[in-house]
Structure 1
Amino acid sequence: MSTLISKYNVAGPRYTSYPTVPYWNEETFSLHAWKETLQASFLESNTKEGISLYIHLPYCESMCTFCGCNKRITKNHDVEVPYIKSVIKEFIMYYELFNEKPKIKQLHLGGGTPTFFSPEHLNRLLHGIFTIGSKAENCELSFEGHPNNTTKEHLKTLAKKGFNRVCYGVQDYNLTVQKAINRIQPYENVLRATKEAREEGYNSVGHDIIYGLPFQTQDDVINTINKTITLRPDRIAFYSYAHVPWMKGNGQRGFKEEDLPSADLKRVQYELGKKMLIEAGYVEIGMDHFALKTDTLYIAQESGEIHRNFMGYNSSKTQVMIGLGVSAISDSWYSFAQNVKNIEEYQNLIEDNILPVFRGHILTSEDLIIRKHILNLMCTFETSWEDPSLWFPELSDVLIKLKELERDELIEVDSKKITVTEKGRPFVRNVCLPFDMRLQRKKPETKLFSMTV
């Protein structure tokens, strides 16, 4: 395994989309084109499957130095109401593009720290959202909670609005690691938040754990996994720390490169954690995710309905995903659009009745084919071109580039299909790379992506 790690530990995307954001063609994109593709896609899908909503709530009271998300650090909670007003107005502007009420199948509150906002203000936000759109049958409503500040009132308020899933950022329980990443939260806080979520009727409680953090040892991973297992979360995201300190607005500068575990040690941490989770009854889902067999994510994988987008892995697919809030990304399936990243600019554009989109990408016919292949690999660890619509001219070149992975027994290839082996699952990003036509045609000259291992 050590030889494979050194061989395949290269920079590569996490493929929450294709094309990836650095390869969007902004020259062919326009706000008008985005609106047109969104309207067409909405007409195709709203009645049949509904839409997904992602709402970005960017505020945090302190900077976690492992985090690469777009956030604003402040202890001033007066920012809550103006921001909520802008988000609701943005959704109204989208509603005005459609000829019917959006049917919300999925809604996720991300951040930042959504529980920075008071229960009262979150209730106000959701009242506005559900006045504009209606809930689909069996909709999944979820939020990211910080164990230190997610109160019983937060959970109760959101449960009354129909929220049934919460994900808590745990990262690691070792105090030295927590100090390095500026995220100090005792096990007792996670225990309380998990217990209270279940008491309020949440049917899926998730924990996010990260390996490869500064000063993190193998024993730290064992300790964190053991404590996690005692709480029996329904889902576990076991992420590789993505070290991308060159990204603007990133807080990953509180420790040195040599403070991080080596690629070999990171892989040992992952394999150890994976073994412990599987022995505890969890099933590996896609990349970096584990779930109990009672969770909807496992059920979706078994039924072939699992999906991956900018919100990560989902238990069902919608063709339209609208991102609301600063820096949020929307997806019409035929195009992507991202909002401006500065809060004041975002609010000013909304005030002027302008959708706050600053860049995007209109997918070509080739993009749509490649997207399906990469989505298949990331979700089900296999893809096929038996359907002629999934063939593309460079496929033979892709298969040649995959030969080395085949020799290393990371994939199996036949005349119409590729399957990622059990041994190859940790390298699924590497399997996707040869399919990434935009990256293959123009290799990045600067650092764009984290390492694949």
Structure 2
Amino acid sequence: MTSQPSQAALLRKYDVPTPRYTSYPTVPYWNIDSFTNEKWIRAVRKTFEETNDTNGISIYIHLPFCESLCTYCACSTRITKNHNIEVPYIQALLKEWSFYRNIFGKRPLVRELHLGGGTPTFFSPQNLRWLITYILEEVELHHDFELSFEGHPNNTTREHLQTLFDLGATRVSFGVQDLDEKVQQTIHRIQPFENLQQVTMQAREIGYESVSFDLIYGLPFQTPFTVSDTIEKVLTLKPDRVSFYSYAHVPWLKPGQRGYETADLPSSSLKRHLYEIGRHLLRKANYADIGMDHFALRHDALFKAHVAGKLHRNFMGYTVTNTDLLIGLGASAISDAKYAYAQNEKKAEEYLGAIHHSGSAILKGHIHSDEDLLLKQCILQISCQGELSPELLMQVINARMLDALMEMEKEGILYLYEAGGLKVTTAGEPFIRNICRVFDSYMHETQSDREIFSKAI
């Protein structure tokens, strides 16, 4: 009987460029040639008519501005200290929202509204109140409506927290990344623990139901000691959720990451060890694994959705809200209309110009084929539930997929049922992205793939 390969051998094999699968197909493989604005409008209207009255819609607003560049960051940002940009940017957001309101033709039922960035708390509390109040005018709010936002511990004030709470916010996510001084200096993210402690306590005093922290492993100069120290300090604040992300080193796409050398980064084996240290400490503190890189306490809605099989994943990451229509507003924002995707102009100035000219800033998109829709469901089931139903697997399986899945079963990564379907094993949880990759008909072992995506582990 052949023994299973060691964890180290599996890490070497599967630590390859792989998407995070917040969408399928992933953005680099969108069929842009078949996309038109007219097709996108039809997809939005069709999805709205099919689902608005039941599940409602989600809204994501991208606020890209930051006062300084965090060099590890791979998000679409605009670095400036000029806060005069706030008003014209909000005016553009509201004009873009009017564009979609005209497509809907009636009042939308809003299930979810999330502010992401960049740094949403770059904007003043007064301007955020103006933005959200206008967006939520003449809409219906779902009975489970959730308003959430991302905050920077250094500039999120009590007024920010109170203003957004009064508008309906119940969840806030703070970007922590790492608390070691040398790491912070290297990634240009100086952020004292006391600032994080203060905003966390203020959010709880005001009444927020869920406080989340984002952490990253694989950053330059991280060691087992620094990661342990960061996690142990974070645990004293008892966040309801923790996202423990793998650092994506893509300096050819994000030049800011050239501020340090590849030699300053942990090796692949050490990087995975850093994750296992964090995972062990979080699980020891009663946090449960939720999908890829996420942990939650058992009272949190994310854990409850995971247990109930209702967890969903979209461009905002994991969410308890499963809506078929996600409208993305702002520079670089991506919308998902079930049958199609669309992305806005990436640079803030180009976004502002496009909105001023036509009310829309769509840069590119993708119209789903029937196969896309099936494979998207497969990837969602695996990434959200850690399993795949026989009904879906039997519709998409081919010889290439079967060979890859059978090999993964021999390696102890997953279990294939005789009646069809699969389940990810505990040992296979670190390789969920790789399992999803089996169902990605666009991915190939090419130079292009290696240049687009960060490594899976």
1:295 maps to 300
State whether structure 2 residue 414 is matched by structure 1 residue 411: yes
Alpha-carbon distance, 1:351 to partner: 1.5
Code of the aligned partner of 2:123: F
The share of aligned pairs that are identical, in percent, is 49
Q: Distance in 1 between matches of 2:165 and 2:306?
A: 26
2:41 maps to 35
* Pairing partner for 1:101 from 86, 91, 107: 107
Alpha-carbon distance, 1:404 to partner: 2.1
Q: Distance in 1 between matches of 2:140 and 2:95?
A: 16
The 5 Å alignment of 1:64-79 reads 64-79=70-85
Contact 1:69/1:250 (<8 A) preserved = no
Contact 1:401/1:434 (<8 A) preserved = yes
2:404 maps to 401
The 5 Å alignment of 1:365-376 reads 365-376=370-381
1:434 maps to 438
2:172 maps to 166
Contact 2:390/2:422 (<8 A) preserved = no
Instruction: Assess, with a 3 A threshold, how the Cα gap between structure 1 residues 448 and 144 changes in structure 2: closer, same or farther.
Output: same
Alpha-carbon distance, 1:399 to partner: 1.2
- SS of alignment partner, residue 115 of structure 2: strand
1:420 maps to 424
2:58 maps to 52
Contact 1:173/1:186 (<8 A) preserved = yes
Instruction: Assess, with a 3 A threshold, how the Cα gap between structure 1 residues 263 and 441 changes in structure 2: closer, same or farther.
Output: closer
* Pairing partner for 1:350 from 333, 343, 355: 355
Query: What CA RMSD, in Å, does the superposition of the two structures yield over aligned residues?
Result: 1.3
Instruction: Assess, with a 3 A threshold, how the Cα gap between structure 1 residues 441 and 170 changes in structure 2: closer, same or farther.
Output: closer
1:449 maps to 453
Q: Distance in 1 between matches of 2:415 and 2:250?
A: 32
Instruction: Assess, with a 3 A threshold, how the Cα gap between structure 1 residues 446 and 411 changes in structure 2: closer, same or farther.
Output: closer
Q: Distance in 2 between matches of 1:202 and 1:107?
A: 15
Code of the aligned partner of 1:449: F
Contact 2:292/2:432 (<8 A) preserved = yes
1:308 maps to 313
Alpha-carbon distance, 1:393 to partner: 5.4
Contact 1:300/1:316 (<8 A) preserved = no
* Pairing partner for 2:329 from 305, 313, 324: 324
1:272-318 C-alpha deviation (Å, 9 max, x unpaired): 11111011010000000000011000010111110000000001200
Q: Distance in 2 between matches of 1:120 and 1:258?
A: 45
The size of the alignment, in residue pairs, is 450
Contact 2:78/2:347 (<8 A) preserved = no
Contact 1:67/1:250 (<8 A) preserved = no
Q: Distance in 2 between matches of 1:283 and 1:100?
A: 41
The 5 Å alignment of 1:163-312 reads 163-247=169-253, 250-312=255-317
Contact 1:64/1:183 (<8 A) preserved = yes
Q: Distance in 2 between matches of 1:93 and 1:354?
A: 6
Code of the aligned partner of 2:344: N
1:402-445 C-alpha deviation (Å, 9 max, x unpaired): 22211110111123111110000001111111110111497736
Alpha-carbon distance, 1:132 to partner: 4.3
Q: Distance in 2 between matches of 1:111 and 1:200?
A: 23
Contact 2:112/2:146 (<8 A) preserved = yes
Q: Which runs of 5+ in 1 are unaligned?
A: none
Code of the aligned partner of 2:9: T
Q: Distance in 1 between matches of 2:79 and 2:356?
A: 23
* Pairing partner for 2:382 from 363, 377, 393: 377
Q: Distance in 1 between matches of 2:301 and 2:143?
A: 15
Q: Distance in 1 between matches of 2:344 and 2:167?
A: 26
Q: Distance in 2 between matches of 1:140 and 1:325?
A: 20
Q: Distance in 2 between matches of 1:393 and 1:44?
A: 25
Alpha-carbon distance, 1:251 to partner: 1.9
Alpha-carbon distance, 1:384 to partner: 1.9
1:338 maps to 343
Code of the aligned partner of 2:320: S
1:41-94 C-alpha deviation (Å, 9 max, x unpaired): 000111101111100001000000010111111111000000001001100110
Q: Distance in 1 between matches of 2:395 and 2:320?
A: 29
Code of the aligned partner of 2:456: T
Instruction: Assess, with a 3 A threshold, how the Cα gap between structure 1 residues 271 and 203 changes in structure 2: closer, same or farther.
Output: same
Q: Which runs of 5+ in 2 are unaligned?
A: 1-6
2:4 maps to none
- SS of alignment partner, residue 452 of structure 2: coil
Contact 1:116/1:149 (<8 A) preserved = yes
Code of the aligned partner of 1:267: R
Contact 1:77/1:117 (<8 A) preserved = yes
State whether structure 2 residue 89 is matched by structure 1 residue 83: yes
Q: Distance in 1 between matches of 2:187 and 2:100?
A: 38
Code of the aligned partner of 2:137: T
Q: Distance in 2 between matches of 1:90 and 1:192?
A: 36
Code of the aligned partner of 1:254: G
Instruction: Assess, with a 3 A threshold, how the Cα gap between structure 1 residues 15 and 79 changes in structure 2: closer, same or farther.
Output: same
Contact 1:95/1:132 (<8 A) preserved = no
TM-score, length basis structure 2: 0.96
Q: Distance in 2 between matches of 1:174 and 1:445?
A: 33
Instruction: Assess, with a 3 A threshold, how the Cα gap between structure 1 residues 136 and 383 changes in structure 2: closer, same or farther.
Output: same
2:369 maps to 364
